[in-house]
Structure 1
């Protein structure tokens, strides 16, 4: 049986997928550093190793990078910050930012990217400052993708999961400004990238349905209801297959809304009712009332 070390696995995976060292390392580390990692001459830090795996379209489920106690504590603190951002726990985000900042003496670019992204979330949720959030997000993405202009997809670039999340957040900010075409352009880039480049895993299971949900919203806002229905349908099928309960009911709601907008009121009503039932089962009370009010206001449907 062959025994792999991390450098061998990185190199063989990269070559099998036909990627250059420049494509994989861009914005994460130097090409020379990746070469040394692949040859076993340099031990990568935990965060760098994770992002290199993500650029290769997979997750680091096989290898651990043995680091100092301080590095491990910092990595754990950053992971907690990421979880708080994902859950939109605003008070916890603010507290965890302070914790991480105290632990960082000479922050790496990847650590700084995580901190700035968390601060962009605060700008939106706490300060309700869309312009400030967009400025921070552009600063965040330029840490690893300096050529990205915030509008035009970089289809030749490989992406980490963090970069996908940041670009999706930039698209959301465009949509908040009612610039739906810009949002759709970025959303379709991410959708196609995740379909073509990323193998199944927990990060794809979490992020892909939300990208489809956003696209269904944005197409609907632009009155492209057939496309909105298609995005919702794709998201529902994926969520059922991979068990994403968070995205499932909101995608079902969007399917019902798209059908209603297309004139299929009875069929649309069926899916809208289903989504409300699922929200009730999940005890998402805030979602229930929003859904009920939306149906009554837009379609004259009462539940």
Structure 2
């Protein structure tokens, strides 16, 4: 598809949403480069184009732009690495990191964001080294958000999907370090951003329930059972509407836990029993045992 069509679409979407070139391009490319792309004077690489679309709150489903075969191969390798991170498959992350690392030696720093993020995941999941993981996460996020201090939301900034994933990973580290309120603050920022800035799409369908699930867990841990219940119910409504089967049963379980915290035991038992039945049908016995153990330990409930 002609470059000028891509540029026209970018410009029209940006203007319709009321964003400046500086807001959209920040950390991805220069405003001058975005101007040239919009005017059809510069052909964007696939990764840059994708990040620009994400800053505009949409997914790049219409345009496939590759400068050359090497760029196409690198883009595919990075997408595979992102899938490995999402699946939390440590062995595949290790293998794919090596592949991407060899391919990024002569590329721009933007391609390294996912690589640093993946190494951070390895430090957290494989090595149990939260300090090193935080260092790598911050190195990744600073490629495109150099002003982010790791704790305070940048509510005026537009975000890409990778930035959302990295910020969420940083929030998880704060939970591991018993700084739950900092984690809640970060994921509340992501929740509000995804509600207000992102259109419906496959990535939002996958990531938005994850943010609500995290918030439900963390709020309940801090004793905010009512707020935890609200997050779980909001997540369930979204999963039903958009068909996210992965997070649906664990959000049902979270709803039961929050109801138990509010003293609504009959409703809690009903929700927890439903969660067990769904996990059973999905053959996820580990989740079933966790619910059974939690109910017995905390409330003396037997299933």
Q: TM-score when scaled to structure 2?
A: 0.97
Query: What's 2:102 paired with?
Result: 102
Q: Secondary structure at the match of 1:42?
A: coil
Matched, 1:132 2:137: no
Q: CA deviation at 1:107?
A: 2.9
CA–CA distance in structure 1, aligned partners of residues 90 and 239 of structure 2: 27
Query: What's 1:24 paired with?
Result: 24
Deviation digits for residues 208-263 of structure 1, max 9, x if unmatched?
Answer: 00000000011111101000000000000000100011111111000000001110
Q: Count residues in correspondence.
A: 301
Q: How does 1:189-268 map to 2 (within 5 A)?
A: 189-268=189-268
Q: How does 1:1-303 map to 2 (within 5 A)?
A: 5-303=5-303
Q: TM-score when scaled to structure 1?
A: 0.97
Q: Secondary structure at the match of 2:67?
A: coil
CA–CA distance in structure 2, aligned partners of residues 48 and 140 of structure 1: 16
Q: CA deviation at 1:180?
A: 1.2
Relative distance call for 1:107 and 1:298 in structure 2 (3 A) is farther
Query: How large is the Cα RMSD of the aligned pairs?
Result: 1.1
Q: CA deviation at 1:109?
A: 2.0
CA–CA distance in structure 2, aligned partners of residues 155 and 114 of structure 1: 22
Deviation digits for residues 111-158 of structure 1, max 9, x if unmatched?
Answer: 100000000110111101112111111111111001011111100000
Q: CA deviation at 1:282?
A: 1.1
CA–CA distance in structure 2, aligned partners of residues 252 and 67 of structure 1: 46
Q: CA deviation at 1:4?
A: 6.9
Q: Which runs of 5+ in 2 are unaligned?
A: none
Q: Secondary structure at the match of 1:5?
A: helix
Q: Which runs of 5+ in 1 are unaligned?
A: none
CA–CA distance in structure 2, aligned partners of residues 176 and 195 of structure 1: 26
CA–CA distance in structure 2, aligned partners of residues 6 and 79 of structure 1: 21
